[in-house]
Amino acid sequence: ENEIFRPTKAIIDLSAIRHNIVNLRKHLHSDVSVIAVVKANAYGHGDVQVAKEALKAGATILAVATPEEALHLRQEIPHTPIMILGASPIVFAPIAAKEAIILTVFSEDWVRKVSPLAKDFEQPLKVHIKVDSGMNRIGVRQEKELQAVYDAAKMVNNIEVDGIFTHFATADEENQEQYEMQLAIFQKMIASLPEKPRLVHAANTAAALVKESAQFDAVRFGISMYGLAPSTYIEENLPYPLKEALALESELVHVKKIQKGDRVGYGGTYIAKEDEWIGTLPIGYADGLLRCLSGQEVLIEGVRVPIVGRICMDQCMVRLPKKYEIGEKVTLIGKQHGNEIHIQEWAERLQTIVYEIPCMISERVPRVYKEQ
């Protein structure tokens, strides 16, 4: 494992992952499975570690976005079903069969092109048919399209239709209109099949938390596994309290007093209004602390202090209320001395959603795991 020298790190609380899943399972009907969505390196939290914790907490399937993510997980987690939620290239089908990776299919042509390869599969390839019930991303949109994909797959003896699923575009909103429409379309599509595939699933976090009608056989649990609410509406309607898993910490590496009128950072954009203490942190935009986060507060001894001046690639400066020692701990996201900086605060400042924040913390920031 590469030793960590720079004090900047993301601390992942695996007990929070467990808490969020154990409570979800209490919330769901007892026969509903949990699919842990660990794509994008588990939304930036570390896919292998989160996946192992999620399985210990009762998840039974892992879901990722790409073939590479599936293979990376398979190397570390030999037996659990891993599902790719997006499109996979035809050439990947034999590898998926060998590695027991479940593929998403939604094209008859794709199935026809895979079928000559199927006779050499080491074991049957499991596929879940994706229904596009209104998000217009990927999936079959008509019953006859569904029938064609289903029949084509059924004709190939080494392809097994193991499931069918859809994805909601607005389950995290108060307005139920599009959700109800998508649910009805999905239910009609399932009913049009000669038999129900083993695993029918539709819910993302929002639907799993607030839409009992969306539970089916399994739910695909992503954002709230990490302790984040997908939207304000869901935050206001949580069936149980979430525990945030990620904290972002660093330390002061330099502290100095500057005089009134002195400038700080590239472009000299920050001008001291009086004699001030300025601290420097070893974290910058190449770590995911985007330049437009200048002005965001960080915690030192539980006190909020602002980032001042332009954020550099690897460093940034903060205005301190007094002199601190080198090595003083700084919390950029998380709790410190009873105060807290939420990921939501960064999302608002960046005019984005909480999903994007942990994903943007770059690989240069080591993920350190703690097990409460």
Ligand X SMILES: Cc1ncc(COP(=O)(O)O)c(CNc2conc2O)c1O
Please classify residue 235 by burial: count the beta carbons closer than 10 Å to its beta carbon, then call 0-12 exposed, 13-18 middle and 19+ buried. Answer: middle
List the interface residues with ligand X, window 56-85 (CB under 6 A).
Answer: 85
Residue 88 in the binding site for ligand X (CB under 6 A): no
Q: Which stretch binds ligand X (CB under 6 A): 51-59, 119-127, 222-230, 342-350?
A: 222-230
List the interface residues with ligand X, window 105-124 (CB under 6 A).
Answer: none
Residue 62: its H or E element? strand 61-64
Please classify residue 233 by burial: count the beta carbons closer than 10 Å to its beta carbon, then call 0-12 exposed, 13-18 middle and 19+ buried. Answer: middle
Q: Is 119 a catalytic residue?
A: no
Give the one residue of 20, 133, 182, 205 binding ligand X; rule: CB under 6 A: 205
CA distance 167 to 160: 21
Give the one residue of 164, 170, 355, 361 binding ligand X; rule: CB under 6 A: 355
The contact pattern for ligand X, residues 154-173, with x = CB under 6 A and - = no contact, is -------------x------
Q: C-beta of 220: minimal distance to ligand X in Å?
A: 4
69 Cβ contact partners less than 8 Å away, ≥ 6 residues apart: 38, 39, 40, 41, 47, 84
CA distance 243 to 218: 22
Give the nearer residue to ligand X in terms of CB position, either 55 or 308.
55
Q: C-beta of 39: minimal distance to ligand X in Å?
A: 7
Residue 227 in the binding site for ligand X (CB under 6 A): no
Give the nearer residue to ligand X in terms of CB position, either 8 or 204.
204
List the interface residues with ligand X, window 229-268 (CB under 6 A).
Answer: 230
Give the nearer residue to ligand X in terms of CB position, either 95 or 359.
359
Residue 50 in the binding site for ligand X (CB under 6 A): no
Q: State the number of binding residues for ligand X (CB under 6 A).
A: 12
Residue 223 in the binding site for ligand X (CB under 6 A): yes
Tell me the β-bridge partners of 334: 341
CA distance 162 to 217: 12
Name the packing angle between helices 47-56 and 67-76 (round to 10°).
60
Q: Which stretch binds ligand X (CB under 6 A): 4-12, 218-226, 327-335, 340-348?
A: 218-226
Q: Which stretch binds ligand X (CB under 6 A): 94-102, 120-128, 173-181, 219-227?
A: 219-227
306 Cβ contact partners less than 8 Å away, ≥ 6 residues apart: 295, 296, 297, 298, 318, 319
Q: What's at 256, amino acid-wise?
A: K
Residue 222 in the binding site for ligand X (CB under 6 A): yes
50 within 8 A of 42, measured Cβ to Cβ: yes
223 within 8 A of 205, measured Cβ to Cβ: yes
Active-site pick, 56, 154, 266, 323: 266
Give the nearer residue to ligand X in terms of CB position, either 252 or 361.
361
Give the one residue of 204, 231, 296, 331 binding ligand X; rule: CB under 6 A: 204
125 within 8 A of 160, measured Cβ to Cβ: yes
Residue 126 in the binding site for ligand X (CB under 6 A): no
Q: Which stretch binds ligand X (CB under 6 A): 140-148, 186-194, 202-210, 237-245?
A: 202-210
Q: Is 39 a catalytic residue?
A: yes
Give the Cα-Cα-Cα angle 40, 127, 73 (nearest 5 degrees): 35
Q: C-beta of 172: minimal distance to ligand X in Å?
A: 7
Q: What's at 329, amino acid-wise?
A: K
Which amino acids are annotated catalytic? 39, 266
| Chain contacts with ligand X (rule: CB under 6 A) | 37, 85, 167, 204-206, 220-223, 230, 355
